[in-house]
A and B are shown apart, each in its own frame.
Chain A
Amino acid sequence: MDPRRSARTVSDPKVRQVGFFTQPPPPDRSISDPPRHHDPIQSSSPSSPPVNDHSPSGNSLSPVMIPPPRHHSDTLLRTALQATSPTTSFPYSARTVTVPQENDDVSSFSPGRRVVSGKSPSSFPGVKASSVPASELTTVSVVNLPPGISVDFSAYKEFGMVRVSLLDEHQLKVSCFIILKTCAMKHLHAEKEKLTAEKSGGAAVEVQNDQLARSKPLKEKTSKAERRALQEAQRAAKAAAKAEGSKAPAAASKVGPSANTKPSKAAKPPSQKNDGSQVAPSEKKGGDRAPEKDRKKDAPHPRMQYDDASRVEKAKKRAVVKQTEARNRVELFRHLPQYEHGTQLPDLETKFFELNPMHPAVYKVGLQYLSGDICGGNARCIAMLQAFKEAIKDYLTPPEKTLIRDLTARISSYVSFLIECRPLSISMGNAIKFLKSQIAKLPLSLSESEAKASLMLDIDRFINEKIILADKVIVKHAVTKIRDGDVLLTYGASSAVEMILLHAHELGKQFRVVVVDSRPKLEGQLLLRRLVRKGLSCTYTHVNAVSCIMHEVTRVFLGASSVLSNGTVYSRVGTACVAMVAHALHVPVLVCCEAYKFHERVQLDSICSNELGNPDAISKVSGREEISYLDGLVNSDNLQLLNLIYDATPSDYVSMVITDYGMLLCLLGLTIVEELTMVKACGGAAHKCARHCERISKRTPMVLDGS
């Protein structure tokens, strides 16, 4: 790994090492021949790091890996040419995803983070490669996605993740975007290079470097939204040009700001999702460089990059909660918000009566988030929804405003308040999205009281169906996996897992439970207490002993904060470690996660999106003053404390995800066939992917319809 590290730092010192580096996948999955056409790269580009021997195809299959650095040498063009050859074989109709390219500066191009920014159409059907000039804004047709899915590659650029919008929330099964990520994106980039080179002659690199050079899109059939986005992109480019003239490293620092412009899934108005064209939202994301004024009104972005000083300043100005930045932050996690814990709560408390627009119920929930009185995905979501219900109950439309618009704005302000108290969990984001879409869907003819009643009913329905019933169904499924004599291991305190264990016990199954816990929250103790009281036989240990206890375990049940569309399980920190140990010892890992917690984004590591907890919690042991060895050191400059809340478990370590829609053996299940074709088209790691998919399909994903 080391050579790769150094290579990265050379290419862009500002980019942090991202990723969750594992050994290459076990031999049965990972054996593959590096594609032939990569060899020229190795031979002809001496600057390539030696690790490219395995990459990209060798490593690219693991969802936790980062595509290796690419160098914009001429050889790449050749590669790309080879890669484009099978494009004509696509039988499927295309959906278009337009991503205006911006900011694509080779000098700041950081491997692993920004793989695809511009799109080259030639590798995909639906657009003829020859018809596209070297425009920065081109259209990509992504084939064979099920209807209602759009892929936003631009997100990948900044976040190391692909944003895929699932229009239909039930389409959990469609999650084969690893392939997209690993193969398509790299080659797309290569092809873009090639195209530029072709069209603009030898000055290809200059064109790349000079990101100001934007030409009109060739596509004639652009929608209004597209044209608008393009216009904005151009305007932004002009501004960027000026900036670039004055200071050279502007490009490098631009990663942050542009990252923030992109509306998050949760914050995006749901109405956009509902209208027919997926083009507009995804395009906006990439090209949105709206004037600062517009943005000021926005809530602080859930995905804000907190290492960007100017943006943090702005967010602070509009913040309700006083946020004192913590001083010593771990370099790798500077982009995440971290405040001096302990300063926020008293300050918020003193303002209790001054926040007039805030509904008391929402305020109370915010306080409880901030003080840590409520934690756990389901509980936080329920508490939030119930607070919103209260708020809607007391809501009165101000004169000369319409309920739909004003209430949406009101809810948004509540949400931004809650975000200031604690970053939203993904499940909460989904719930908010649901609520907003319900508000947007209200017919105008409804009277205010009817509308409120219907919304309150909707909220109740969401809680009942998506959380309570979902848990019941999960319990029903999961109990079938518990046999007499089992030793079940669980980590932390998941409400779903607790219900499963209790239900299995009620059914009279004979099993033992190992509760694995970790500092600083020790939430497992609460679970343990409840289990022991019900008469289950339990073993309690901490996560550092998990490798020892795992030998006697027959099943691992884990909860999840979210399951992402590449199968990554986003959960309480430590889960990945437990899952990996279990995987290494061939113990099946079952992840229990309600479907409303699924999210369409793809995350490859637990770095780019995470939450930082109170660093004091790990430096102090409550109730044991005699071992507070770090006293007085906490504020020293060369000590940085890191208390992460979440981690990402790659799907490789998860044997099964139990949701209310059934049990998914592997999330990479359903659209394998289609994906396969595309993989081939992308060349690259096709062989490898095919093998992977075969392996998956042999497992015959079992999807029970739970609903």
Chain B
Amino acid sequence: MDFQVVVLAGGTSKNLTPLVSKEVPKPLLPVANRPVLYYVLHQLEQSNLKDLIVVVEGKDAALLVGGWISGTFVDRLHVEIAAVPEDIGSAGAIRAISHHLTANDILVVSGDLVSDVPPGAVAANHRRHDAVVTAMLCSVPISGPSESGSSGGKDKTKKPGRYNIIGLDPGKQFLLHIATGAEIEKDTRLQKRILRAVGEMEIRSDLMDAHMYAFKRSVLQEVLDRKDTLQSLKQDVLPYLVRSQLKSEALSNRIPRAEENGNEKVSSQNNQVMVSQILANASTPSFHDLCSVSHDGSAPIRKTHKCCAYIASSSSYCARLNSIQAFMDINRDVTGEADHLLSSISDHNNIVGPSTKLGTKTTVGPHCMLGEGSEMGDKCQVKRSVIGRHCRIGSHVKVVNSVVMNHVTIGDGCIIQGSVICSNVQLQERVVLKDCQVGAGFVVTAGSEYKGESLARKEK
């Protein structure tokens, strides 16, 4: 279908410390005991997209990711791993691999997207409108534990900082305005020209840019070449394209016709014009077309390009793993309401690995996941939590709304709520953790209590 897929997997994101480390870069962060990158690759594989370029920040991370991909998707996917320097942003990453891009259209997917929206839908929408960029928008996931919020429910008030403001045309087809993240605090400026051309704009703040874009390659490369300052696709390139859609500068929309000028006869060119005119008249013109033609209806005076939006249906699941809270949410959702993302699910609404050992009177509630080889002592309680592989958990341990990664040792009588415990962590007896993140390899001494803290080893 003439599409190339670029997965921007990222590297060691600062947002997610202490969860990510040199050993566990962001793409390999386990979500329900699978690296988060798995979900994207699996989704692409389902859509029959087998030739991928995975861009990873940092050489070491690239090695790790490459090793994991070749181990997991051997013979199923044809993946090229590209390592780019850190901190060059997503636009920089595309710039760096620009010479690999040959297809007409590029699908750029963020590696931290956990979603069941088919990428084909975005691509098809892109093709149908012949757009320069099509962005997938999905409804903002409800943050924090959605139901029975015994803990963590209070930070809802803190959340609204991350709103996007997205302007759509009445048909919900085209992006008219997009402002993300930090800009929101200030006044938002709308472009009068676009507003005048469309007549009506729908401003939504309940939509989120899911960072799955289809770009027209020629335009993307041109924009990236021309504007060195553009750093991020989401915050710079997309708003730039949206802003300039009615006065697009040197976008190669009309190139084929320009080429023909020289060598074709005048008559045949006349015919070409007529053909394109018939085609143009037959379709309902978008505001781009109406705006681009001058008032008397003669030749287009202004170049325009289309920025489309594909709005995922509200029933589909879509979330990005870009914060610790999101990490918790996604873990909960993937084992819970969005469990169709995992191929295997048992009848009891929880997944217990094949070789786990449970002590007497230990209960594992619904929406839980226990990795293989984990052992639990007597009278434990696990609710809405994910526990990784080969963990050893003592007796009288309570794990609620938490994520426990692999090879974690938890002593007797610990209580863990709303926390993330990374791999190889040792919790000694009677530790009480609430809303904490414990970095890999950390040792929590017996009897300590923490609340809302981030614990990590000092880097040497």
Partners in one complex: yes
Asked if A378 meets B124 with Cβ closer than 8 Å, knowing A353-B48, A373-B283, A533-B297, the reply is no
Q: Say whether B271 contacts A468, CB under 8 Å.
A: yes
Residue of chain A at shortest CB distance from B125: A349
Chain A residues, Cβ within 8 Å of B2: 360
Q: Say whether B119 contacts A379, CB under 8 Å.
A: no
Chain B residues, Cβ within 8 Å of A356: 48
What are 15 A-B pairs with beta-carbon distances under 8 A?
A353-B3, A353-B120, A354-B47, A367-B128, A374-B282, A376-B282, A378-B278, A382-B275, A382-B278, A383-B279, A464-B268, A464-B271, A468-B271, A471-B274, A498-B281
Asked if A350 meets B120 with Cβ closer than 8 Å, knowing A364-B127, A533-B295, the reply is yes
Convert A376-392 into 0s and 1s, putting 1 for each residue whose CB lies closer than 8 angstroms to a CB of B. 10111011000000000
Cβ of A375 within 8 Å of any chain B Cβ, yes or no, is: yes
Asked if A351 meets B120 with Cβ closer than 8 Å, knowing A367-B128, A468-B275, A530-B297, the reply is yes
Q: Say whether B284 contacts A367, CB under 8 Å.
A: no
Cβ of B121 within 8 Å of any chain A Cβ, yes or no, is: yes
Asked if A526 meets B1 with Cβ closer than 8 Å, knowing A353-B48, A364-B127, the reply is no
Within 8 A of A (CB), among B244-283: 268, 271, 274-275, 278-279, 281-283
Indicate the member of A348, A350, A353 with the most B CB atoms within 10 Å. A353
> B-contacting residues of A (Cβ < 8 Å)?
346, 348-356, 360, 363-364, 367-368, 371-376, 378-380, 382-383, 463-464, 467-469, 471, 493, 495, 498, 526, 530, 533-534, 623
Residue of chain A at shortest CB distance from B200: A623
Cβ of B285 within 8 Å of any chain A Cβ, yes or no, is: yes
Q: How far is the CA of A374 from the CA of B276 in the complex (A)?
A: 12
Within 8 A of A (CB), among B281-338: 281-285, 295-297, 313
Chain A residues, Cβ within 8 Å of B275: 382, 463, 467-468
* Distance between A622 CB and nearest chain B CB, rounded to angstroms: 9
Q: Say whether A346 contacts B313, CB under 8 Å.
A: yes
Besides A368-B283, A534-B296, 20 other CB < 8 A contacts? A346-B313, A349-B125, A351-B120, A352-B1, A352-B47, A352-B124, A354-B120, A374-B282, A379-B278, A379-B281, A379-B282, A379-B283, A382-B279, A467-B278, A493-B281, A495-B281, A498-B281, A526-B284, A530-B281, A533-B296
Q: How far is the CA of A500 from the CA of B454 in the complex (A)?
A: 76
Residue of chain A at shortest CB distance from B117: A350
Q: How far is the CA of A415 from the CA of B81 in the complex (A)?
A: 39
Within 8 A of A (CB), among B202-226: none
Indicate the member of B120, B268, B282 with the most A CB atoms within 10 Å. B282
* Distance between A460 CB and nearest chain B CB, rounded to angstroms: 8
Q: How far is the CA of A467 from the CA of B275 in the complex (A)?
A: 9
Residue of chain A at shortest CB distance from B296: A533
Q: Say whether B281 contacts A526, CB under 8 Å.
A: yes
Total number of A-B contacts with CB less than 8 angstroms? 101
Chain A residues, Cβ within 8 Å of B281: 376, 379, 493, 495, 498, 526, 530
Q: How far is the CA of A534 from the CA of B298 in the complex (A)?
A: 9
Chain A residues, Cβ within 8 Å of B120: 349-354
Q: How far is the CA of A373 from the CA of B47 in the complex (A)?
A: 25
Q: Size range of the interface on B?
A: 20 to 34
* Distance between B309 CB and nearest chain A CB, rounded to angstroms: 14
Chain A residues, Cβ within 8 Å of B123: 352-353
Indicate the member of A352, A363, A372 with the most B CB atoms within 10 Å. A352
Within 8 A of A (CB), among B114-157: 118-121, 123-125, 127-128
Q: How far is the CA of A485 from the CA of B415 in the complex (A)?
A: 93
Chain B residues, Cβ within 8 Å of A373: 128, 283-284
Q: How far is the CA of A371 from the CA of B129 in the complex (A)?
A: 11
Cβ of B49 within 8 Å of any chain A Cβ, yes or no, is: yes
Please pick, from A353, A368, A464, A468, the residue contacting B49 in the complex, using a CB distance under 8 A: A353
* Distance between A353 CB and nearest chain B CB, rounded to angstroms: 4
Q: Say whether A534 contacts B268, CB under 8 Å.
A: no
Q: How far is the CA of A580 from the CA of B118 in the complex (A)?
A: 50
Chain B residues, Cβ within 8 Å of A364: 127-128
Q: Say whether B1 contacts A360, CB under 8 Å.
A: yes
Within 8 A of A (CB), among B83-129: 118-121, 123-125, 127-128
Q: Say whether B271 contacts A380, CB under 8 Å.
A: no
Q: How far is the CA of A292 from the CA of B284 in the complex (A)?
A: 42
Asked if A363 meets B1 with Cβ closer than 8 Å, knowing A346-B121, A351-B120, A353-B123, the reply is yes
Chain A residues, Cβ within 8 Å of B127: 352, 360, 363-364, 367
Chain B residues, Cβ within 8 Å of A363: 1, 124, 127
Q: How far is the CA of A463 from the CA of B128 in the complex (A)?
A: 22
Chain B residues, Cβ within 8 Å of A368: 128, 283
Asked if A367 meets B124 with Cβ closer than 8 Å, knowing A350-B118, A353-B49, A530-B281, the reply is yes
Q: How far is the CA of A33 from the CA of B127 in the complex (A)?
A: 63
Chain A residues, Cβ within 8 Å of B124: 348-350, 352, 363, 367
* Distance between B378 CB and nearest chain A CB, rounded to angstroms: 48
Q: Say whether B282 contacts A354, CB under 8 Å.
A: no
Chain A residues, Cβ within 8 Å of B47: 350, 352-354
Chain B residues, Cβ within 8 Å of A471: 274
Chain B residues, Cβ within 8 Å of A469: 271
Q: How far is the CA of A134 from the CA of B187 in the complex (A)?
A: 91
Chain B residues, Cβ within 8 Å of A349: 118, 120-121, 124-125
* Distance between A616 CB and nearest chain B CB, rounded to angstroms: 15
Q: Say whether A352 contacts B121, CB under 8 Å.
A: yes
Q: Say whether B278 contacts A495, CB under 8 Å.
A: yes
Q: How far is the CA of A463 from the CA of B277 in the complex (A)?
A: 13
Residue of chain A at shortest CB distance from B118: A350
Q: Say whether A375 contacts B282, CB under 8 Å.
A: yes
Chain A residues, Cβ within 8 Å of B296: 533-534
* Distance between A424 CB and nearest chain B CB, rounded to angstroms: 16
Q: How far is the CA of A530 from the CA of B298 in the complex (A)?
A: 10
* Distance between B44 CB and nearest chain A CB, rounded to angstroms: 9
* Distance between B395 CB and nearest chain A CB, rounded to angstroms: 49
The 6 closest A-B pairs by CB, nearest first: A379-B282, A352-B120, A349-B124, A350-B118, A376-B282, A352-B124
* Distance between B368 CB and nearest chain A CB, rounded to angstroms: 31
Residue of chain B at shortest CB distance from A493: B281
Q: How far is the CA of A353 from the CA of B109 in the complex (A)?
A: 15
Residue of chain A at shortest CB distance from B297: A533
Chain A residues, Cβ within 8 Å of B121: 346, 349-350, 352
* Distance between B72 CB and nearest chain A CB, rounded to angstroms: 21
